[in-house]
Amino acid sequence: MWKFRKEIVADFLLFLYRDIGLFWEIVLSKRNDITSLQKNKELAKFIKEHRIIYNTTNAITIGEKSNSIEENTFYYTDTGPNVIGGLVKHLRNSIMHCRFEVSGVGQKSEIYFEDYWRKKQTMAGKIDKTLLKDFMGVLHRAA
């Protein structure tokens, strides 16, 4: 699924791997408070202000929605101790298994993510590149 595009390779791939993938493995998987909307008020405010839509659902619904996802929207199965923790875990899986695609150029780019488990789609979502960086910044500041 991952499409090679020279302009995203170095800095952005490093961000995806380090600031999402490794951050999940080393920090977020052990610290549920960081992804809790009740405990992390900055996170709750950010998601509301930027209208990030997250829907926990089943694999059938995800498969039906995967071709018509609007920007800054995610559909995923519940896998974490809280809804945002589950979302970031799916992002991590998508990145580590190269199940993402970047479209657009520069700051106007958006990323489509998907995750699978046992041949069932467990996450599909799309987010603006800059918004993704800002979202992860909120989580990093809380760590």
pLDDT in tens, 61-73: 998 988 899 999 9
- How confident is the model at residue 2, as a pLDDT? 47
What is the pTM (predicted TM-score) of this model? 0.91
Identify the H or E element spanning 10. Answer: helix 10-14
Those residues whose C-beta lies under 8 Å from the C-beta of residue 56, and which sit 6 or more positions away, are 76, 77, 78, 83, 86
- How confident is the model at residue 9, as a pLDDT? 64
Mean pLDDT of 129-143: 97
pLDDT tens, residue by residue, 63-118:
898 889 999 999 999 987 899 999 999 999 999 999 999 887 666 789 999 999 99
